[in-house]
Amino acid sequence: MDLTRRRSFAIAAACLLGPRAAWAALHDPALTAPYRALASEPFPVPAIDLSRIKPEFLRREVQGVEAVSREPPGTIVVDPAKHFLYLIQPGGAAIRYGVGVGRSGFAWSGAATVNSKQAWPDWYPPKEMFERQPYLRRAMRKMRLGIGMPGGVGNPLGARALYLWQDNRDTLFRIHGTLEPWTIGSNVSSGCIRMINQDVIDLYERVEPGARVVVLGAPEGVIVTSRGGDGLPPLHQLVRDPGALARGLW
């Protein structure tokens, strides 16, 4: 069997196994190359097992997306329903990333600003998270801003974090990396927007503090949170607690 026939046979067999297996077998370099291991980081960033992620959630440039066409270049637009984050580019283009978003009871939408950004950020879970998941305390230690976890391997904020504020107040919501890249494309977080580490590193390099962030699903300029059965207080109660302003939601 010659090379052409063997390749055709492999493609046909992969298609019979389903789209994810087909994607893992065919390896489009334009989409897979960004997800190799990164050797330049202070902590390991391993290669991503792309067989566990739907190909539509891999980073790519797109054109003519109606949901983002009204925003100027440099704006971040998150579409929670489709699990996409767009970074608007000049000329009507956007870089599209797959994301994980808030699970039931932790969804939010509205407009905010990137107040700051950090590489390998520390994590300070809010007291409500400790109440829901008391086992988390075993992984924490006393740090400068309270009980938390230093940045690095094992930190659920991953390799980068962008901190979102509104009206000069911390919303407690973040765009950050994840230890669980296979959850991209699902509703899984406690309200934050999670990304593959390689993707959030790429976004971090492209976005500066002051950038506008729009999460679709609410009127302009209003952040709306939904409260489920897990006991997370409404946003306005969280931001009234001065000690909570330094803490992020995973």
**Whole-number Å distance between alpha carbons of 175 and 138:** 25
Q: Are 102 and 187 in contact (CB under 8 A)?
A: yes
Strand 169-176 with 193-194, pairing: parallel
List 15, 27, 83, 176, catalytic entry:
176
List 15, 27, 83, 192, catalytic entry:
192
176 is catalytic: yes
**Whole-number Å distance between alpha carbons of 124 and 144:** 10
**Whole-number Å distance between alpha carbons of 112 and 90:** 21
Which tokens belong to 84? 């996409």
Helix (H, G, I), strand (E, B) or coil at 101: strand
Which tokens belong to 171? 């919303």
192 is catalytic: yes
For residue 56, CA distances in Å to 53, 61, 119, 221 come to 8, 12, 26, 29
Helix (H, G, I), strand (E, B) or coil at 155: coil
Which residues lie across from 97 on neighbouring strands? 85
- Catalytic residue IDs: 176, 192
